[in-house]
Amino acid sequence: MTDLILLPGLLNDARLWARQSADLADLARITVIPTYSQASIADLAEAVLAQAPPRFALAGLSMGGYVAMEILRQAPKRVERVAFVSTTARADLPEQTERRRVLMDLAASGGLGRILPTVLASMVQPVHAQGPIADLFHAMAQAVGIEGFLRQQNAIIGRVDSRPSLAAIACPALVVVGRNDTLTPPERAREMAAAITGAKLVEIADCGHLSAIEQPHAVSAALSLWLQG
């Protein structure tokens, strides 16, 4: 059975992947590794590799995708197949970095509660601003905590442009995006899929950035087909 490592995104913990972990349990041994333990993408990649088996399948959502790209640079032969979900290969633009620093200052001075409505609004469709998905996001964010959030944002700000390394990806690759994702929109996913030889692109209707919890069964279906080759 394949070993599958799942990497969550900003202010997410293992609960982000709960539906996929259940849906794919017959196909893979699944481990979810958090992405808030280190303040750089390179260090996060090293931490994942230290915990990972010699060979594994890898899927990352958003920030988890940034870490997955770095893992492929550090240890490409250890990755059997890779899935990039709701992510981009591009580095931060200056205006994106500035927005992150404003949120970091607000969180550091006034707590996560000051920023979570703004962050959530950027990640999900308006219909999910209240209700179970919002409740889950808030619970995950509180588990990550302010220090975890600051480490994550510093890592995201410092990430490199991964576009030049996409062509070197030689394992089977899947790119998944929500059609209503405004953070890492479909054109970014198409850009990635076009740059990776043989990559499959899946666009999910009625879905924002947090695809694994907004449209969990569609994400599970895409990952199931990818795992089965």
Query: What tens digit of pLDDT does each residue of 98-108 get?
Result: 999 999 999 99
In the block, which residue shows the tokens 């199931």?
Answer: 224
Per-residue confidence (pLDDT) for residue 146, from 0 to 100 = 96
Tell which phi-psi region holds residue 30, choosing left (phi > 0), alpha (psi between -120 and 50) or beta: beta
Average pLDDT over residues 139-161: 97
Does this model's pTM top 0.85? My answer is: yes
The fraction of the chain above a pLDDT of 90, given in percent, is 98
Spatial CA neighbour of 7 closest among 52, 39, 54, 73: 52
CA distances from 16 to 158, 164, 197 (A): 24, 29, 29
Structure token digits, residue 87? 């992510």
Return the pLDDT at 44. Answer: 98
* Nearest CA among 3, 151, 19, 133 for reference residue 85: 19
Residue 129, pLDDT above cutoff 90: no
End-to-end CA distance of the chain: 13
